[in-house]
Amino acid sequence: MTTAHDLTIVSLEIPSDYPVERGDLSLALAGAELIDLMEAGTVALDGVLLRPVSQAGSGDRLLDAAASLLVRDPAESVPDWLWRRGDGLAAQYLEAAGADGGGRRRPRRNARGGTDRPAAADPSARRRATDRWSGADPVLAALAAAVGVRHESADQSADPEDDGIATVLAAVNDAVVELAAIRQRRSIEEAAFDNIWRGL
């Protein structure tokens, strides 16, 4: 399993003060994929620019799909990658985790065609994700914090020693903040539009 799968499970399993926004999760998942691709030697960073290195497969369908989208010319920046790859990405990972479009577990069908209890994530995948979470894995904790799921030790976690990972995590945070500003601006514009119509 990958960091993105682990992040998806954490977003489903760990309580947070506010619901995880799908757009925020998509951006963080794109960042998680990028970090795994960097650690696998598939891509390297030149400042904030992505430099594809190899096409070796990981064995994970979604991560290999991410690797196939890397472009050599012109070089793409980390923020541009997050927005491009992140478009709708949460839905793909939620589906892989057995969740419906709203991030809830899909009910399991029984032999009579009805439904009973929700389907659980693959036990080994869930165990790996929860082990990383309980062990305060700094990358997973930072990505989860970006989407609003905080680990109790997140504030004490040291910044990653790897500059490339730190660059990706900072870009994820910036993108989530930018997306929140876009949402707020749209909300204000819609409210103003509604007020105009009410005044007619």
Lowest mean pLDDT among 4-13, 39-48, 183-192: 183-192
The structural domain count of the chain equals: 1
Give the pLDDT of residue 28. 98
Give the pLDDT of residue 186. 77
Mean pLDDT of 144-161: 75
Is residue 5 predicted with pLDDT exceeding 60? yes
Give the pLDDT of residue 156. 55
pTM given for the model: 0.83
Give the pLDDT of residue 72. 87
Mean pLDDT of 57-72: 92
Q: What percent of the chain has pLDDT over 70?
A: 80
Mean pLDDT of 70-89: 95
Which residue has better confidence, 76 or 56? Answer: 76
Is residue 101 predicted with pLDDT exceeding 60? no
pLDDT winner (highest mean) among 25-39, 57-71, 116-130, 158-172: 25-39
Mean pLDDT of the chain: 84
Is residue 177 predicted with pLDDT exceeding 60? yes
Which residue has better confidence, 5 or 161? Answer: 5
Mean pLDDT of 97-108: 58
pLDDT winner (highest mean) among 16-20, 30-34, 57-61: 30-34
* Residue 46, beta-bridge partner list: 49
Is residue 153 predicted with pLDDT exceeding 70? no
Which residue has better confidence, 44 or 114? Answer: 44
Structural domain including 33 reads: 3-199
